[in-house]
Amino acid sequence: MPSGEKKSIGADLSALLEGLAEAGVEFILVGGLAAVVQGSPVTTMDVDIVYNRSSGNIQRLIGFLKSVDAIYRRPDDKIIEPREIDLSEMGHMLFTTRLGPVDVLTFIEKRKVYEDLLEHTVEIEFRGHIIRVLDLQILVELKRMSSDPKDRQRLPILEETLRQSYQQR
């Protein structure tokens, strides 16, 4: 990391989520943290979101990213801050912030975007805000299709969490 970069001593994923909600960003929590908030005993070190790509939401997201000193995670020392135009394009933007890493995604497996995922979310109350989280059943289905070794490793844990949640209903 370059010496001028603001390093996070420890990730505060809760503060990242709270900040996104307070900024009014429309997003769906996906990935490891989505599994964790639904009871899965997995470890995650970042926040993964799929966001609404409307111009107003992109402006709110940029404002939030700037407020947490976001820069792109890169293998070199070049410091690149997020730009509105980048968030308007399709892709994955991986940021380091003073609160920890956040992956800002326009789509996930099967190129599913925010609008495709909305009907497959659950709403969770978090610090006085409602957060949309990708439903564990859909998360498991998508991870079954993934070729990522990390996803394949977590899959049995996610499936067991899902099985237990069905038993409790």
Q: Give the whole-angstrom CA distance, residue 62 versus residue 65.
A: 5
The reported pLDDT for the residue numbered 165 is: 87
Q: In this model, does residue 2 exceed pLDDT 90?
A: no
Query: Does residue 158 lie in a domain region?
Result: no
Look at residue 6 and tell me if it is in a domain. Answer: no
CATH classification of the domain holding 24: 3.30.460
Q: Which structure tokens are listed for 81?
A: 């801050």
Q: What is the pLDDT of residue 40?
A: 95
pTM of the model: 0.91
Q: In whole angstroms, what is the distance from residue 152 CA to residue 162 CA?
A: 16
Q: Is residue 8 part of a domain?
A: no
Residue 6 pLDDT class (50, 70, 90 cuts): very low
C-alpha span between 43 and 66 (Å, rounded): 27
Is there a domain that residue 161 lies in? no
In-domain check, residue 47: yes
pLDDT at position 61 is: 98
Comparing 7 with 99, which gets the higher pLDDT?
99
The reply to whether 124 falls in a domain is: yes
Residue type at 23?
A
Whether 117 is covered by a domain: the verdict is yes
For residue 102, tell me if it sits in a domain. yes
Number of domains in the chain: 1
* Residues of the domain holding 127: 13-136
pLDDT higher than 80, residue 36: yes
Strands 129-134 and 92-97, by their bridges, are unpaired
Looking at residue 107, its pLDDT comes to 95
